[in-house]
A and B are shown apart, each in its own frame.
Chain A
Amino acid sequence: MSVEPAPSAVDAPSAAATGTGAPSGSTRRRLPLTGLTALAVLILLAAVPLFVAPFQTSMLARMLIFALLAVSLDLLVGVTGLPSLGHAAYFGVGAYTAGLVAKYWTAAAPVPLLAAVGVAAFAATATGWLAVRSHGVFFLMLTLAIGELIQQLAESWSGVTGGDNGLSGIPAVEVAGQPLTLVGYVYWYVLVFAVLGFAMIWAVSRSPFGAALRGIRDNEPRMRSLGYSPFRYKLAGFVIAGAVAGLAGGLLASQQFALVTPADLGFTTSALALLAVAVGGAGSLWGPAIGAALVVLIRDVYGPDLDGHGTLVLGAVFIVAVYLLRNGIAGLATTRFRRRGPPPSDAAPPPDPTQGATGAPVSGGFRQNRQDGRQAGESSQRLDSDDPSSDPPNPGVKRS
């Protein structure tokens, strides 16, 4: 990154508040509450193996893993505005890498995970270098093609990956020389690294770098004219998201009796992750985590009761989510608890002094895009108010 990053909002939140009179001020007051909620959720999650049966515990571990995948995808979809249909590829690359390292080299934590992150980041760099050059629907297509290519690789390279049968016989992960065989310990292992991964995405999203990604999402030409290189920022975002997806994949391979199959990299996994992001609310980071838990719940808990037709329910959830949950679960929470904030709909843009000059009615997506971009770019303070919940009302996913 050769360009000068924007001044950090953490240093100057009050400037942001006075600059626009926008939600940033209230965000700051809410912060301790958010921290407390996060802590409470963390304690609750950590206590799970003490009270819950092993089967449900391993289910929760799967939810955590899928949630980490969804959150990493949200960094692309919601924050950077790059809807990817091939994100599971890096998840699968991480899973295969961790499985192979554990099987043929060492299962000592955290070596398989580090390898998974490294190889997934490498894969994301190599493919993202091509993908982030394209825009809109072509990005969707190109990521789809990349995901399919990597899945084909996993299927046909059967000497290493086990082909269609998948990679099995992965030994249990070892901590301090002891293999983790109890479900509860494996769960804690997953929890620790899932929280680390989530924290990393959260930190990236709140950093000046994350603010720059949002700026590119909202108005790429303006960011370019301000001296940012959209290509480098998008590529960096793509690689970070891929690396964290690889971490999630590594955690998948560290589960008991883990089996990594080509389906883990496939279109269906990518589509379900995208569903989790959409249901949860793109751009909010915590919303997609809840969305992911919901998807796993429907697929793995209610699916067997429906004769394996859990997908039917998931399909219905897709449809309902698109119509009723425009900003996902996170959007619901925002309207519910933050009445004073901007309403989450582009029918009623937020009251913004910079908007008066551009008062023309907005119809097409393109014009909407430009107008939002103008708002986002007009004052750099507004750009810097990088709390996820104080985004402009419609996340980038709506105007890909």
Chain B
Amino acid sequence: MTEWFADNFVSILNGLAIGSLLFILAVGLSLVFGMMDVLNLGHGALYLIGAYVGYQFTGGVSSWGGFLTALGVAAAFGLVAGLILSVATEPLVGRGHLDQALLTLGVALVVAEVISIIFGDDVQNVVAPPGLNESIQVFGNTYPAYRLALIGVGAVLAVAVWLVIEKTSLGALIRASVSDREMVSAVGVDNRKVKAGVFAFGSMLAALAGVLGGPVYGARTGLDETVLLLALVVIVIGGLGSVRGALIGSLVIGQVESLGRANFPDFASFMLFGALALVLIVRPRGLFGSKVGAG
């Protein structure tokens, strides 16, 4: 057991890094779905915007200025995009998931194509800021410092989001909206504002995840689809609308991805979607699912 652990130590760390990134990406998607029943297939495109913003502002040069600017710009892009998506899906409320899925899928296609027109189809690398740009020794293994930092950022964000959702009155409002939207509306809260806020916040996190994931995954076409599928798998496994579910789903999928690829390279992709199918068969609403989304 100890030996196995030592052999797979790097993979486990990689899994944690992927898990952190996935949590940042998926928590917004999960809240938007859980609260407002909006299935946002454009979430991957927001990540892609973030990734290319990161590439644009760091430009292959390792600098804190560029990286922090990229984070700020991506956050602004994400907030605005989230508000736009929130307004755009407003007329579709009550028309079922398929219409929302089609609309957001259309937006995702347009965004991905526009990005490919601007930046071309080449794979672009994003360099980590100075200090995080090198490898360090962790228990006798050489490991990129940036990924350790990513794990840290993911952990901090997870705690922050959990605190906001569980301990503040704003969080109580969000949780109440997840469990009974109509009741919240009946006590005099404008649902659309709550929805727009959560949508903007979730989209901002997705765009930030794009910048943060840049040094690991780079910026390339098709990345939006990959991360969207991963995020969907995460929130379905975790249960829609649950922050705890999104966290556990991200960590599980991170490990499945990383350990699976390291140990069973031929079956890694099967394991991912196999895990999804398995969870849906055993627990059709996800591991921490509530009643939402089954309509």
Contact = CB atoms under 8 A, between A and B. Distances in A.
The answer to whether A and B come from one shared complex is: yes
Interface of A: 77, 83, 85, 130, 133-138, 140-142, 144-146, 148-149, 152-153, 155-156, 267-268, 271, 274-275, 278, 307, 309, 311-312, 314-319, 321-323, 363-366, 368-369, 397-400
17 contacts: A137-B33, A137-B97, A138-B294, A142-B276, A145-B233, A145-B276, A148-B273, A149-B273, A275-B102, A312-B114, A314-B106, A318-B106, A318-B107, A364-B182, A397-B98, A398-B95, A398-B99
Contacts, number: 140
A134 B92 CA distance: 23
B91 A400 contact: no
B277 A146 contact: yes
A226 B229 CA distance: 39
A155 B267 CA distance: 11
A137 B270 CA distance: 22
Contact of A144 (B95, B96, B232): B232
A83 B236 CA distance: 17
A148 B229 contact: yes
Interface stretch (B53-61, B132-140, B169-177, B279-287): B279-287
A309 B116 CA distance: 9
Contacts of A133: 281, 284
A152 B101 CA distance: 23
Given A316-B106, A400-B96, A140 B39 contact: yes
Interface residues of B, number: 45
Interface string B161-181: 000000000000000000000
Given A141-B276, A323-B91, A368-B94, A267 B110 contact: no
Contacts of B257: none
Contact of B102 (A142, A278, A365): A278
B294 A135 contact: yes
Contacts of A144: 229, 232
6 nearest A-B residue pairs (beta carbon): A318-B106, A315-B109, A315-B110, A312-B113, A319-B106, A152-B269
Contacts of A314: 106, 109
A369 B294 CA distance: 13
A196 to B, nearest CB: 29
B113 A315 contact: yes
A286 B6 CA distance: 61
Given A136-B97, A315-B108, A152 B293 contact: no
A321 B240 CA distance: 28
B103 interface: yes
A311 B113 CA distance: 7
B105 interface: yes
Nearest to B92: A322
Contacts of A145: 233, 273, 276-277, 280
A346 to B, nearest CB: 9
A134 B107 CA distance: 27
A400 B99 CA distance: 9
Contacts of A363: 94
B155 to A, nearest CB: 28
